[in-house]
Amino acid sequence: MNILEAKEYFRNQISAAKKYCVDGTPLPFVLGACFIDYFCKMVEGEDKKSAGYKDFVANYMKDVREEYNTFRYANGAQDLPIQMYHVLRCGIVHSFSLIPDTTVRNQPGRDHSVALCHKAEAVEKGLKHLSHYVGPRNLDAALFVIEDFLDDLIEVNELIYKKATSDSTLRGNIERWLRSSPLISGGY
């Protein structure tokens, strides 16, 4: 798969994830966390583990929506990229929970520092994507509205490839990662 095919592939896959938003399932959040995981490896051309994920959020996602870098928790922490890795990515992907497993517990992730909802609920309750959320349990969380989160991922996908047109290192990294870790396609 070449670089332009990968761009289209991700646009289509992220758009397909939106179909799952209708019934209120958390599955699109799992997919979103996985998309970021692939994007961060792709722009680096290698797997830089948790540091790569956090750097991707801080350096790419913030270009789509500044709150990814500027969100401040009520406790004063301004560490959404860290929480996205430990709670959104590790918690939801490995444990299907917003409470990270014991491996991540010793890391700087905080239970429920990320809250999830769908657009219908957000509109009904007057909530906004990447706003502070306390909810009925008095949380200190960043609220993710899945439809807006997926729109951000579509936009960051476009941004990656736009940057790659003028950045030969980035383009080389993307091409290297696509070769070493081909995307799911065809007969799987």
Q: Where are the domains of the chain?
A: 3-180
Mean pLDDT computed over 164-173:
97
pLDDT at 185 over 80: no
Task: Give me the pLDDT at residue 23, please.
Answer: 87
Task: Give me the pLDDT at residue 187, please.
Answer: 58
Q: Which of 18-22, 60-64, 113-117 has the lowest mean pLDDT?
A: 18-22
pLDDT at 188 over 60: no
pTM of the predicted structure, to 2 decimals: 0.94
Counting Cβ atoms within 10 Å, is residue 103 exposed (0-12), middle (13-18) or buried (19+)? exposed
**Measured between alpha carbons, how far is 28 from 162 in angstroms, rounded to an integer?**
25
pLDDT at 53 over 80: yes
Q: Give the tens place of pLDDT for each residue, 122-153.
A: 999 999 999 999 999 999 999 999 999 999 99
Q: Give the tens place of pLDDT for each residue, 65-90.
A: 999 999 999 999 999 999 999 999 99
**Measured between alpha carbons, how far is 157 from 77 in angstroms, rounded to an integer?**
28
User: How far from 61 is each of 12, 36, 150, 151, 152, CA to CA, in Å?
Assistant: 19, 9, 12, 11, 8
Mean pLDDT computed over 102-130:
89
Q: Please, which pLDDT band fits residue 6 given cuts at 50, 70 and 90?
A: very high
